[in-house]
Amino acid sequence: MNLSVPSIRTAATAIIQPQPLSEILSSASWKQLAIPAALLYVGLCRALRFRREKTLRAKLGYHDRASLAKMTAVEAQQVVKFMSSWEMPLFTFLALEFGLFKTYGVESISRLLLATGNLTDPVRSLKRFEDTAALIGEFMINPPTTDRAVRGLARMNFLHSKYVKEGTISNADLLYTLSVFVTEPPRFARLYEWRPMNEMEYCAYGVFWKSVGDAMGIEYRGYLARAETGWRDGVEFADDIATWAKAYEVVAMKPSTVCAKPARALIPMITYWVPWFAKPFVTQVVISLLGDRVREAFMLPEPDVAAGALVYSLLTVRRFVVRYLTLPRFFELKRQYDPDPQTGLMTQRIPYGNFPFYIKPTFWNRWGPMAWAVWLYGGKVPGDDPEHFMPQGYLVTDIGPENRMGLGTEEIENDAKRIKASGWEGCPFG
């Protein structure tokens, strides 16, 4: 057959003529589309998952270990807030919760908590947990240059001052409590999150909490190995306080009936929202996450092997899913509202604990589907018991035990001036 050149071109054009995407999609089966779509989604997750981490590092300019020596508390707070609000909010919160729990394995700390009744009393313990988290949030979420952060620190110093003067809180107790804030979030990220912290993030925890420790007047000499010569950066400080804390636990964490009492009060708080039929199993899960030394100090039994195997298997699956199959957060996790411009009262978006402290009632959070679920479970919703849960909000002087609410205004103002004058927002290592 004799074909001319024009006829060949016409035939070729007809064969390779592009089709609209809608026609391609309509003619293809779901099986033909599923694999490319899945690969595209995984690639998108991979591309976006590490973008914020790299962007923040580029913004702050910390590309190598040498540059970390100049990190300031202002920059460190940005990183700490980034981790708790964007990158890994769930396990950052759990790390701090379990970290505080861990400090109760030191008998001198538990003895004080039992003496005040703020942890074991069924009424006071609710506010105690919420206030501890809210107070830490004041200077963890807000930049060190703000009055809100400085006054939060000053309030914490005032609440501790009574016990420091009495000698019921030792410098070692304060230093060990500081250590869990430095070490537990990086440890939880390494063990349970979708990625470990990078060097800049680990350094930020050392810088930020060293600055907080300085503002609290914690003494490092005689405790930390490098305190005499000093630390070159937050990484070195974090490593040093971690080494000291491990050695301190060997000496201070022993099986104790004193430590066992806070444990019996705290585990029900952690498992509060778990259905009754699952509470025994979840309690075993909590115990398995504590670690042997803390568990023995609390005089708790060894956890069930099945509980430990299940929880670590689920955490491994979660790590894979979040890292490779989940897009990053699109919205910042915000816990606080700005203070009321007229009254100065501060409210929270979501509670830290199990009860609606400092949550302003709205139609949605009081009558929405989640509120009905909480009510049916037997919990409290915003607007319930207003004299106790204070939905109108709080002033910084309201944080703390009820018998110290409203006290310390002058002391807080004087201490806030001292903290500002100390330049705590700068680099604590030079």
Give the confidence band of 31 by pLDDT, cuts at 50, 70, 90. low
Q: How far apart are CA 328 and CA 323, in angstroms?
A: 9
Q: Count the alpha carbons within 13 Å of 219 in the hemisphere toward its beta carbon.
A: 7
pLDDT surpassing 80 at residue 25: no
* pLDDT band of 30, cuts 50, 70, 90: low
- pLDDT value of position 240: 98
Percent of the chain with pLDDT over 90: 80
Element (H, E) at 258: helix 257-270
Q: What is the mean pLDDT of residues 221-233?
A: 96
Alpha-carbon 150 to chain mean position: 20
Give the amino acid at 394: Y
Each residue of 174-205: pLDDT tens digit?
999 999 999 999 999 999 999 999 999 999 99
Query: For the segment 295-304, what is each residue's pLDDT rounded down to a tens digit?
Result: 999 999 999 8
pLDDT level of residue 115 (50, 70, 90 thresholds): confident
pLDDT at 15: 52
Enumerate the H helices of 170-233 as residue ranges.
171-192, 199-216
**Higher pLDDT among residues 126 and 214, named by residue:** 214
- Quote the CA–CA distance of 361 and 371 in Å, as a whole number: 11
Q: Predicted confidence band at 235 (pLDDT cuts at 50, 70, 90)?
A: very high
Q: Would the pLDDT of 23 be above 80?
A: no
Instruction: State residue 58's pLDDT score.
Output: 94
Per-residue HEC secondary structure of 130-181 comes to HHHHHHHHHHHHCCCCCHHHHHHHHHHHHHHHHHHHHCCCCHHHHHHHHHHH
pTM of the model: 0.90
Compute, in degrees rounded to 10, the torsion defined by CA atoms 401, 405, 411, 417.
90
Residue 274 pLDDT > 80 = yes
Q: Residue range 55-80: average pLDDT?
A: 96
Confidence check: pLDDT of 36 > 60: yes
Give me the amino acid identity at 212: V
Mean pLDDT of 76-86: 97
Between 34-43, 368-377, 386-395, 415-424, the lowest mean confidence (pLDDT) is in 34-43
Residue 113 has pLDDT above 90, yes or no: no
Distance CA 20, CA 135 (A): 59
- CA 171 vs. chain centroid, Å, equals 24
Query: Between 131 and 125, where is the model more confident?
Result: 131
